[in-house]
Structure 1
Amino acid sequence: MTTERWTDAMIDNLASTVEDLSSTVEDLSSTVDRTTQNIEQTNRNVDMLVGAVNALLERDSQRDEEMRRRNEDFQQYKLENDQRFNTLLEEVRFLIRKLGENQ
């Protein structure tokens, strides 16, 4: 088996390749750091959006509940008014019959 001797050119080429590889690793590390920061910022933004959506859903739920209560109140008010109207109508009919009997 023969051993190959490294020439200065081969060593220079290897050194250049190692430097290129080191630079690439630094670039990748920087890219990973930026990506990590972007992901963290995105997560914070998502958390804020989730909070905003939950607040809107809660507000919508409260409005729905308020509308339901108002509708119930209105239905009760309408029922009471209908009952009063029917009572008054019966009284008017009674008075009309009385007037008719008295003539």
Structure 2
Amino acid sequence: MSGYDERAGRALAEGEFDRLPGEPLEAPEVGDVSAVISVRLRGDEIDALERAAAAAGVPLSTFIRQAALSVASPLDMRAVSAQAETFEIEARRLLALLRGKAS
């Protein structure tokens, strides 16, 4: 059995695929749009992605999807910084309230 066949079997067993190759596709529900995108990878690249997905505790397809989307929609660091500052202010207020009640 080839490495590809082993990976495909493992992915099928882990629920990565909704159907076997050749089975008919069901029409998606309204608002439920999805696409399958084919990407060519070398064996060592697939191995590296599989290790990273396993370390993250997610299926390979989920890992790849999350990685692609994180690059497509990078964090707005100014917004994150502003939210962190607001959180810190609120945490200090809460701490002051708790200290006031404890004394």
Query: TM-score band, normalised by the shorter chain?
Result: under 0.3
Q: TM-score, normalised by structure 1?
A: 0.28
Which has more radius of gyration? 1
Q: TM-score, normalised by structure 2?
A: 0.28
Q: Which structure carries more relative contact order (alpha carbon 8 Å, separation 6+)?
A: 2
Higher helix share: 1
